[in-house]
Structure 1
Amino acid sequence: MTVLTNRTHAPFRYDIVGSFLRPAALKKARFDFAENKITFEQLTEIENICIRDLVKKEIAAGLHSVTDGEFRRSYWHLDFMWGFNGIEHTVLDHGYIFQGEETRADSARVIGKIRFTNHPFLTHFRFLKQLAGDTVLCRQTIPGPAQFFSELVRGENEKYLNTVYPDRKEACQDLIRAYHDFILALYDEGCRNLQLDDCTWGMLCDIKYWKNQSGGETNVQSLQELYLRLTNASIADLPKDLIINTHVCRGNYHSTWATSGGYGPVGKILFGKENVTGYYLEFDDNRSGDFTPLQDVSDNKIVVLGLITSKKPKLENKAAIISRIKEASQFIPLDRLCLSPQCGFSSTEEGNILTEEEQWQKIALVKEIANEVWN
């Protein structure tokens, strides 16, 4: 009989990725603020009210780790980037291209040396920590350093990067230092669970995508090595009680997706060499491939199987999900597996196409299945 260990830190047996659907009151407040109908202070107070309500619901749902739902952000990644010295908010000619949709065209570009001095996310986390107290673990989600770097070389942004940083190595060093300094400041605020959201690996899984983007000439191997170095250097020499996990998917916008492909092309480097505790992985449909690449997960790292989709309201068949967990356990021991939705419910403020009630039903299903499999 397999003896299962008790999970005392994230990832937990039943878990979430981070973002939640924005309540109607919050969406209205953000629109009113953009139209100069309310002040920033009024917007903040409405955000505070919505986050208080969310945390109560997360705790009531039995979650061991809570987030603020990313309620103070427009995007899962760009708002974080805009918080650093040397980075400015810009708008490109096109947004990100998803299956059948194009996002808003906001982006981030370099206008000076990249530095951390202060960051609004520290204030955001402080509020969350005060709400949760010692009842549950507070998780901070941020885009990974590879995701940040890929934004800085996206389209016309690259010429701005090259102007400020003729030596690309210096840009990488400054980005690594900025991340490291931010993470230490976040730790001082009481954060012990950091999640690096990183779609770059999901993009590299899609061979067709890269051929279309580069004419087949991009050296995907060198990109993997760069992404690995950015991540590992950013999280090196940090306090031992800070648990750092990563989330990898292939795009999550308004219930659509950007790329396809199994984890095979990136498994040996991502799973074998990235120095994180666990991986939250997208596995909710056949676009993500099979579980074979999980055999490359090194040491005692944890894998959170994202088998429940956050993109569609229909609840999954419990028996089918349990069967898939057992299938995954052929490649990595059941004791090192957990369960969650494949991504957040609202990676951008638009949100996926389901209701808040359906969102919580998904989380309840994750918990129900996990309790049956691991208890």
Structure 2
Amino acid sequence: MTTTKNKIGFQHVGSFLRPDVLKQARKDYFNNEITQQELTTIENEAIKDLVQKEAAVGLDYATDGEFRRSYWHLDFFWGLEGVDHVHYGEGYQFAHEETRDDTAILSGHVKFNPQTHPFIKDFEFLKSVTDELDIQPKQTIPAPSQLYIELVRGVNADKVKEYYPNVEDLYLDIEKAYHDAILTFYDKGARVIQLDDCSWGLFLDEKFLNTPDGKAYADSGIQDVLLNLNNKAIENLPDDLTINTHVCRGNYHSDFAFSGGYAPVADTLFAKENVDSYFLEYDSSRAGNFEPLAKVSGDKNVVLGLLTTKSGELEDRQTVIDRIKEASNYLPLDQLWLSTQCGFASTEEGNVLTEQQEWDKLKLVKSIQDEIWN
């Protein structure tokens, strides 16, 4: 069996803290104080600097840090035809904080257009930078299931009924839009694409599941809907394209949205989703134990997110190593790997730590990878 290292390599989940110059430029742009071209130039320089740092720390795959995005998920949705950017009236409610209130809502039928979706040009720029530095590009996008969850969120669902009287037609359009997007990234040189997915979080949170709404949600059959959306989107792709998923419980300004172990979704997500690897959040007791990993089917890999991005405090090396060994009781070591639990800035606000601390985290990840799997 090929070693886990050769399958996955050293890669970060995705986002990095935005440098101050970039934060200021985005504010200036939205205040009409600089042009789009001026903002793009500053973004380009920040991404070039980031990729150089990613290469220097030893990453085999580089992201653009999601530096051009406001959110890890909504910006991709807004680039699709038939999806509009509106304000919901309230944000997502995290454990201690409420987010901004942006959302995505239907304005027509969902379609991916490679000529107009900004992520394609963004990826082309990233690849032009990685080509010069002997490092591979990695593209992160929100999962198809995440788009569906956003479109049917509260009053947003009224637009779904308007444009898709038969919800099965919406499923088909989401699956095709994503399939087309993935193939376009592939044609531009992407060989690793990650589907970021918080849509499973509600199934994990016992506090929510014990409410009447939670029980109804858990019994609704929606797990199968989410699974099928994701699997249909990644059917019939080139053999040399790796599709990973990152399953998260929320990551906003160092706050979280959900708690609970993976057991309620293991029989569906771990056993049946046809990805190559799962990047899983395991940085705190909120994530439960490793027992659900026994449900991972076939030779799929699990990347243990044992180092938190929610604080700058550096984990104890031996504690991380011991937890990897504990996880290997449920999934063989050659199907395990290591990362941080999430990105450092799932939204442009970023988590509460310093840039030096984020690089220290990645250096520790690399050092433990080398010790355990070399």
- Asked whether the 8 Å contact 2:4–2:301 carries over to 1, the reply is no
Q: Is the CA contact (8 Å cut-off) linking 2:5 and 2:373 kept in structure 1?
A: no
Residue 132 (structure 1) aligned with residue 133 (structure 2): no
Does the 8 Å contact 2:202/2:258 carry over to 1?
yes
| Partner deviation per Cα, 1:123-170 (whole Å, 9 max, x = no partner) | 000001010117122110000000000000112111011111111111
1:262–1:331 CA distance, 2 compared to 1 (3 A): same
Change (3 A) 1:222 1:282: same
Q: CA deviation at 1:57?
A: 0.1
The one of 47, 53, 71 aligned to 2:67: 71
CA distance in 2, matches of 1:62, 1:219: 42
Query: What's the counterpart of residue 13 of structure 2?
Result: 17
Cα distance per residue 1:187-238 (max 9 Å; x no partner):
1101110000000112211132244482532244611100110000000011
Cα distance in 2 between the residues matched to 1:322 and 1:218: 37
**RMSD between aligned residues:** 1.3
Map of 1:351 onto structure 2: 350
Q: How does 1:143-154 map to 2 (within 5 A)?
A: 143-154=142-153
Alignment of 1:1-375 (within 5 A): 5=3, 7-9=5-7, 11-12=8-9, 14-118=10-114, 119-133=117-131, 135-212=134-211, 214=213, 216-220=215-219, 222-375=221-374
How much does 1:65 deviate?
A: 0.7
Alpha-carbon separation, structure 2, partners of 1:34 and 1:297: 45
1:73-104, CA deviations, whole angstroms, 9 ceiling, x for partnerless residues?
00000000000110000101110011110000
Residues 32 and 202 of structure 1: is their aligned pair in 2 closer, same or farther, counting only changes over 3 Å? same
Unaligned residue ranges in structure 2 (runs of 5+): none
Residues 307, 339 of structure 2: 8 Å contact kept: yes
Comparing 29-38 and 206-215, the one that deviates more: 206-215
Structure of greater relative contact order (alpha carbons < 8 Å, 6+ residues apart): 1
Inter-partner Cα distance in structure 2 for 1:206 and 1:219? 11
Contact persistence 2:5–2:337 (CA under 8 A): no
Q: How many Å separate the matches in 2 of 1:325 and 1:4?
A: 19
Distance 1:4 1:241, change over 3 A: closer
Identity percentage of aligned residues: 51
Q: What SS does the corresponding residue of 1:97 show, helix, strand or coil?
A: coil
2 CA distance for matches of 1:320 and 1:4? 27
What's the TM-score, normalizing by structure 1?
0.97
**Amino acid of the structure 2 residue aligned with 1:166:** P
CA distance in 1, matches of 2:355, 2:181: 32
Report the 3-state secondary structure (helix = DSSP H, G, I; strand = E; otherwise coil) of the residue aligned with 2:251. Answer: coil
Moved more, 64-73 or 220-229: 220-229
Unaligned runs of 5+ in 1: none
